Amino acid sequence: MERISTNMPNDDMQFYLRRKEEGLSNIQAKIANQTKLRELADDPIGASHAVRYDSYLTRLERFETNTQSAREHYKFVDDKLGAANDIAQKLRELAVQGANGVYTKEDTAKMAVEINELLKELVSISNSTDPSGAFAFAGDKVFTEPFRIVEGTVDGLEGPAPIQVEYRGAGAHRRTEITDRAYADLDLSGGDAFWAEKMQIASTFDASDYQVQENTSIFVDGIEIPLYTGDNVRTIAAKINDSAAPVKAFIDVDTKGLALEGTDAHLITLEDKNGSSVLRDLGLIRANSEQGAPNWNVSAHVSGGSLFDVAIQLRDALLRGDQAFVGGQSLAGMDQALANLSTRRTSVGSRQERVEATWARLNREIQDINESLSRETGLDMASAAMQFGMMDFSHKAALQTAARILPQTLLDFLR
C-alpha cells in the first residue's frame, strides 16, 4: 500500500503554479519583444522561414546601400562633367571669336590670358574629390591626384604657365554589386572624360620576326589578353582586335611595328602582366614603367591629345596671332572634346538611371520581405493581450485556491 505524504498536495500545487508562472513570463516576454518566436520550439517551421527571410533581407539592405552610394557618386560626377562642359563651351566660343580676322594680335593675346585661367579651372574640376576624399576621375587610384600641371615660361604670359597636363590616374575598373551577381561600373577615368582625340601609338620596332617566348598576358585598357608561346605580331594584333578593348590594332606598313588606335577619344593604357615583357619588347612601353599611362616608349609615335592639350594649343595660337590654326585645328579639337564630354556624360546618366531603377525595385522588395518576415515572427498584440489577461486571471485564481486549500499552520513557521 502506497503512503501519501502530507507534502504531496503542496508539491503538486507548487509545480502547477510554476508552470502557470512560466507561461505568464513567456507571454510577457513576447509582448515586450513584439515577436511570437522566442524559441525555435515555439514554431519550428515558422522559425526556418524567418531565418531565410532575415538572411535575404540583409542582402537586400546591403544592395540598397550600394545603389544609394552609386546614385550619389554618379550625381557628383555628372555635376563635375557639367561644369567642365560649360568651360569647354566657353573655350570654343573664344576659339570662334579668335578666328575672326577683325581682331589684332593684342586682342587675341588678351583672349589667351582668359583661356589660361579657364585651363587652370578645368584642371581643378578634373581633380575634384567627392565627400569621402576620393578623386572622382582617378580611376582605380582614387587617392592619387589624376592630373598634374607642368608649368614653364610661355612668351606673352607673365609668370609660370601650364605647358603640359599629365594624367597620373588609372583605368576605371571599380564596380559595386547592386543585385545578386549584377554589378554597376562606378568610375569614369580622367583619361576617358577629358580626352579630345582618338589616340594612335605606333612602335618603330620592326616586329616581323617577333614571337612570344612563353605563355603570358598583356592588358589593353584594362582588358586582359592572353598570349601563348609562338604567337607572332599579327596574332597579337588579331587578339587585341577580338577583345573588348576599345582599340584597333594593325601593323604599320613603314616600320612593320605594332600600332594601336583608339576607337573613340580616350587615353589608351597598356601594361605587361607581371614577369612579362611583350609590350616592352615590341617597343610600345618603357622598361620599368609604372602601371597605367602615359608610359610610352620614347621611340614610339604617339598622337591624339586631351582637352587640356587642345586648350594649351589654342592659348599659344592666340598668343602668336595664328588665326588660321585657331579656326582650323583648335576649333576642330574643341568640337571633338565637347562631343566626347557629352558622350561620357550620357554614359554616366545611363548608369545613374539604371541604379535609380534598381534602388526603387530593391525598396519594394525590402518592404515585401519585411511583411513576410513580420507574418512569420510578428505578434498579434490584441490576441497576446487577451491571452495575457486570461493567464494572469487564471494565475491569480490558482493562488487564491491554493491559499484556501493549503492554509499555513504553526508548523510552517517553525520549519
Q: pLDDT digit string (tens) for 348-370?
A: 999 999 999 999 999 999 998 88
Can you tell me the mean pLDDT for 287-306? 79
- DSSP of 291-314: SSSS-B-TTSEEE--BHHHHHHHH
Q: Which of 6-10, 61-65, 208-212, 367-371 has the lowest mean pLDDT?
A: 6-10
269: in domain: yes
Structure-block grid coordinates of residue 367:
518592404
Last residue of one domain, picked from the residues 254, 288, 303: 303
* pLDDT in the model for residue 178: 92
Q: pLDDT digit string (tens) for 143-153?
A: 999 999 999 99
**Do 310 and 188 belong to one domain?**
yes
207: in domain: yes
**Do 186 and 205 belong to one domain?**
no
What pairs with residue 162 in β-bridges? 151
Can you tell me the mean pLDDT for 226-248? 95
Q: How confident is the model at residue 200 (pLDDT cuts 50, 70, 90)?
A: very high
**Do 287 and 234 belong to one domain?**
yes
**Please, are residues 313 and 236 in contact by the beta-carbon 8 Å criterion?**
no
**Please, are residues 285 and 277 in contact by the beta-carbon 8 Å criterion?**
no
* pLDDT in the model for residue 235: 96
Can you tell me the mean pLDDT for 38-61? 73
* pLDDT in the model for residue 219: 93
Can you tell me the mean pLDDT for 195-208? 94
Between residues 47 and 108, the one the model is more confident about: 108
Q: How confident is the model at residue 236 (pLDDT cuts 50, 70, 90)?
A: very high
* pLDDT in the model for residue 18: 72
Percentage of residues of the chain with pLDDT beyond 90: 60
How far is 170 from 176, CA to CA, in rounded Å?
Answer: 18
* pLDDT in the model for residue 7: 67
CATH number where 234 lies: 3.30.70
Overall number of domains in the chain: 2
Q: What is the mean pLDDT of the chain?
A: 86
120: in domain: yes
**Do 160 and 80 belong to one domain?**
yes
**Do 208 and 94 belong to one domain?**
no
* pLDDT in the model for residue 22: 66
**Do 70 and 132 belong to one domain?**
yes
Nearest to 160 by CA among 207, 214, 119, 220: 119
Q: pLDDT digit string (tens) for 259-277?
A: 999 999 999 999 998 878 9
**Do 181 and 85 belong to one domain?**
yes
**Do 78 and 176 belong to one domain?**
yes
Domain that holds residue 109: 53-196+305-365
